[in-house]
Amino acid sequence: MANEIDGPIFTGAELALADALVLVIDVLTLHGITKAEGLDSIFVFLERRYREAGLVSSAGMARYLRENLAHARQPVSVARLRELIDAPSQGSA
């Protein structure tokens, strides 16, 4: 029995790049340079635009990015990321 996949399948490289972008956006949000609410609406717009143009993979990536951004409803993730950024380096330099 075959499984139905309801979205595009991304390569490891595509996911790594998307996750790096999510991390950069999260850091910018932590420092007050961007606002998560505005980013959410941008990715919703892009997802809709790509779907209308028939670009299923692009729409899926926009959705992936939107869903993986740190939102206000995820304060623990933001707090943990802030701790990691502010923590002194542990290792030899």
In a domain, 33, yes or no: yes
Residue-number span of the structural domain to which 35 is assigned: 14-84
More confident call, 3 vs 90: 90
Taking only the tens place, the pLDDT of each residue in 65-76 is 888 886 544 555
DSSP E strands, the chain: none
Q: Specify the residue for token string 């995820």.
A: 74
The residue among 80 and 68 whose pLDDT is bigger is 68
Judge whether 30 lies within some domain: yes
Determine contact, residues 69/25, Cβ cutoff 8 Å: yes
Structure confidence by residue, pLDDT tens digits, 9-61: 778 888 888 888 888 888 888 888 887 778 888 889 999 999 999 999 989 98
Q: What is the pTM of this model?
A: 0.62
pLDDT at 6: 62
When divided into structural domains, the chain yields a total of 1
Given a contact cutoff of 8 angstroms between Cβ atoms, the answer to whether 43 and 66 are in contact is: yes
d(CA 87, CA 83): 6
